[in-house]
Chain A
Amino acid sequence: MPHADAAYNLARWLIRDRHDAEDVVQNAMLRAYRFLDSCRAETARQWVLRIVRNACYDWLNAKAAIPVAGFADLDPLDIEGHHFTADIFGGLLEDPESLLVKADERSLINAMIAALPPEFREIIVLRELEALSYKEIAEIAGIPVGTVMSRLSRGRGLLVKEWNRRNERSRQ
């Protein structure tokens, strides 16, 4: 099962529900494998991940779980992400009584990534967890390399900001 783990990981992070993610990955992988023979080995992973990624977005759109529009027209130099922090980490992390406050670093990191908009989340997952190059990520997400770079930059920027905010608060 080539690339099943990478596909599974991406889908789990994009869909954030184990059972739905497994359904989506299974259907997408069956489609992808049908054409896998015609792929060169170097591009097979990108091919499989792209199909799985698109299937995840179809699922998300069908659920209307995410606002898809809105990120494309941001100022690319809005490096601090002032326009859209509008507390994307809000509900998930705000409650001071929640388990997350006491939770270890690992759960906090996981929750912070899960709270990112999917456009940033997928880039972070593919870069940090799958160790793919910008070019490979661009092929999977169907976007230019420059967009990979700016989304990664803003995604990391959001995580840094949230991390620092939480650390400052926990020191008070």
Chain B
Amino acid sequence: MNGLDCKVARLSLDAALDGEIDAKHRPALEAHLLACPGCRQALDGKRAIAERVKTGAERFTAPEEFKARLRAALPPDTQPQPQAHRASPWIARARAGSWAGAALALAASIVLFLASPSPQDTLTRELVGAHVRSLMAGHLTDVESSDRHTVKPWFNGRLDLSPPVPDLADQGFPLAGGRLDYIEERPAAALVYRHRQHLLNLFVWPEPKGDEHGLVRSQRNGYSILAWNQAGIAYALVSDLNPAEMEEFQRLWIARASGTTPPK
């Protein structure tokens, strides 16, 4: 499949996760991940452990008395000068990642356009592609927060809509953050929620001419998509979670969203 076998793919998962994979190899890995549930599961496991280490492991900081001892032991002429702080490489990478992500999304949509069988199918592919990309390269969230009061204002000025960001942590779907993505070559808000080891991307974008419609269910490459259209706004939920739980999430999300923000 795609000239990339699982052994090679698994060796690249970490690089993909860390935004260290080179542009040349990335498309092959994305294609492989789309087709291979085993490698996706491996990627999920690695992302989860990386996050546990980042947030849970001790980062020892040098105690003041230790630094004082060190300073005292230095000859006076070698006292190092304080250096300007540079932006953390993690932040720089995250920024680079989101540009790369945007460029890739655009490239992907052009390719998909050339191949396009039907607009609906194109959209489905695009959504699943955006979901898979979000699992790689530190591009999951641009604003990482479980606080909806942080995530919602983040979209202001970046999008011509301000999506509701209900908190569903008490229902087992904690908010992970938000991200700017591209769907049908237009900017879209992506809200990221978690459920156990699974991630859910809820894409929200304005669709003023779209017909209002209820839930449309589709499947692709082991991912489920729930799409609906309400009051000129299109919503699409993508995840590898089972469809029943996704519908449960969708129901809860709508109920909370309409409770917290009155329809415009």
Q: Which residues of A contact B (CB under 8 A)?
A: 1-2, 4-5, 7-9, 12-13, 22, 25-26, 29-30, 33-34, 36-37, 41-42, 44, 76-77, 79, 105-106, 109-110, 113, 124-125, 127-129, 131-134, 136, 149-150, 152-153, 156-157, 159-160, 163-164
Partner of B11, one of A5, A25, A77: A77
Contact A131 B88 (CB under 8 A): yes
Contact B71 A34 (CB under 8 A): no
Number of B interface residues in the complex (CB < 8 A): 40
The DSSP consensus for interface residues of chain A is helix
Q: How distant is the Cα of A2 from the Cα of B69 in the complex, in angstroms?
A: 15
Residues on the B chain within 8 Å of A8, using CB:
60-62, 66
Partner of B80, one of A26, A33, A77, A136: A33
Task: Give the tally of cross-chain contacts (CB within 8 A).
Answer: 113
Q: How distant is the Cα of A134 from the Cα of B11 in the complex, in angstroms?
A: 14
Contact B61 A133 (CB under 8 A): no
Encode B2-20 as 1/0 by CB contact (under 8 A) with A. 0000010011011100101
The 6 closest A-B pairs by CB, nearest first: A8-B62, A131-B90, A12-B60, A109-B56, A128-B53, A160-B45
Residues on the A chain within 8 Å of B209, using CB:
none
Residues on the A chain within 8 Å of B53, using CB:
109, 113, 124, 128-129, 159
Contact B56 A1 (CB under 8 A): no
Contact A128 B54 (CB under 8 A): yes
